[in-house]
Structure 1
Amino acid sequence: MRRTLVVMLKEPRAGRVKTRLGRDIGMVAAAWWFRHQVRGLLRQIEDPRWDVVLAVAPDRSGLLSRVWPAHMARIPQGNGDLGDRMGRALRGAPPGAVCVIGGDIPGITARHIAEAFAALGAHDAVFGPAPDGGYWLIGLRRTRAIPPCLFSGVRWSTSHALADTQMSLPDHSIAHVATLRDVDTVADLK
């Protein structure tokens, strides 16, 4: 079965992406940073060992955007909070292992993604923790149904996001891979 890597992306428009960073450096600069960050990230993680799918928002303009590489498959994120959108991406991926990442983690390499997929060989789920208590990657082996409670009760954008998400996966064996930092504020750029 194929491995699928889903990258959650918003259109890099000023005031619509990286707004916390935009409060520090300006909305135009934050959108510019995100666009160039994602361009480099996609080059880093494209690999013949897995298929890359871009989960884009807003749905219609993201599907039609010329900002993202045309050769990469795209799906709409749809409505709801981050958990709703990631849950759709996880459930809608083709059969096989699937990992979901964001576009705002400068340190991701193909080696990190390969380690996550390797961890799914012996575990039901894998997380890439972030130093702030969140996570940069979630992956599921999908040898059984994804629990309907996945992501329920998760306190997003808090130090509890990783722990809350792991609690929503009862009876799943869980592995952790490298801890990487995402970029939310100007302090995270250093």
Structure 2
Amino acid sequence: MGARQRHLVIFARQPRLGVGKRRLAADVGDVEAVRFARHALDRLIRVLGRDPRWRLWMAVSPDRPLDWVRTGTPLPQGQGDLGARLARVIQALPPGPVVILGSDTPTVARGDVADAFAALRASRAVFGPARDGGYWLIGLRRAPGETLPFSNVRWSTHDTLSDTLANLEGERVSLLREQEDVDDGPALRRYRARRL
């Protein structure tokens, strides 16, 4: 399967002052939150963006302007909760398996993405569990007309992963290693400590 048939999507909010990362900004201030958002997105693009095994897409918010996206093909996320935005982006992609990750887990490595695509050979879905009960990655094999697993999910809670898994009951699902989203001050301090 060629890179044009595998789709890696990074969900990202344009890193600018006063936009996004509000929980982190409440702990560390707006400037530091923007600095981290830029660092995390730049690192993910540098590590994952030019790999020939997949095509990179950037699902961005706000929907316009798109000129700040320098790598990957931009896609607007559109309106609605995270499930609606995930579904919209997934349905806009050409056929082939898709792996989606957020831009607030800068520890994601090429091997994680490769493992996700490998898992989709035998599984309908793959998740990278996050420490907070959500997930830093979701991958779907995708088939025409399938129902996406985003109904009745309590987003941004400790129940996000379990709710999504419940929507896939009876399906084969794979799990990757647990990682931590950097959503608040303590998570940012842990991330920085690991990098030293």
Q: TM class by shorter-chain length?
A: over 0.9
Q: Are 2:67 and 1:48 aligned? A: no
CA distance in 2, matches of 1:146, 1:74: 24
Q: Are 2:43 and 1:35 aligned? A: no
CA distance in 1, matches of 2:100, 2:55: 12
* Structure 2 residues not aligned, in runs of 5+: 191-196
CA distance in 1, matches of 2:110, 2:89: 20
Name the counterpart of 1:165: 164
Structure 1 residues 115-126: aligned runs within 5 Å: 115-126=115-126
C-alpha distance 171-90 of structure 1, shift in aligned 2 (>3 A)? farther
CA contact (8 A) 1:91 1:146 kept: no
CA distance in 2, matches of 1:176, 1:92: 25
Structure 1 segments (4+ residues) deviating >3 Å: none
C-alpha distance 144-175 of structure 1, shift in aligned 2 (>3 A)? farther
The two structures have a TM-score, normalised by structure 2, of: 0.90
Q: Deviations over 1:73-113 (max 9, x none)?
A: 10100000111101111222111100110001021011000
Which range moved further: 21-30 or 138-147?
138-147
Q: Deviations over 1:25-45 (max 9, x none)?
A: 111210121012110111111
Identical amino acids, percent of aligned pairs: 45
Name the counterpart of 1:88: 88
In the TM superposition, residue 17 of structure 1 has moved relative to its aligned partner by 1.3
Structure 1 residues 3-18: aligned runs within 5 Å: 3-18=6-21
**Counterpart of 1:59 in 2: which secondary structure?**
coil
Name the counterpart of 1:188: 187
Name the counterpart of 1:19: 22
Q: Deviations over 1:150-172 (max 9, x none)?
A: 21111111110001011122442
CA distance in 1, matches of 2:100, 2:90: 7
Q: Are 2:171 and 1:154 aligned? A: no
CA distance in 1, matches of 2:169, 2:128: 18
CA contact (8 A) 1:83 1:151 kept: yes
1:92 aligned partner, one-letter code = A
CA contact (8 A) 1:147 1:169 kept: no
The two structures have a TM-score, normalised by structure 1, of: 0.93
Name the counterpart of 1:59: 63
1:100 aligned partner, one-letter code = I
CA distance in 2, matches of 1:143, 1:123: 12
CA contact (8 A) 1:4 1:52 kept: yes
1:19 aligned partner, one-letter code = R
CA distance in 2, matches of 1:146, 1:45: 28
1:97 aligned partner, one-letter code = P
CA distance in 1, matches of 2:146, 2:29: 39
In the TM superposition, residue 13 of structure 1 has moved relative to its aligned partner by 1.6
**Counterpart of 1:107 in 2: which secondary structure?**
coil
**Counterpart of 1:52 in 2: which secondary structure?**
strand
1:99 aligned partner, one-letter code = V
CA contact (8 A) 1:9 1:55 kept: yes
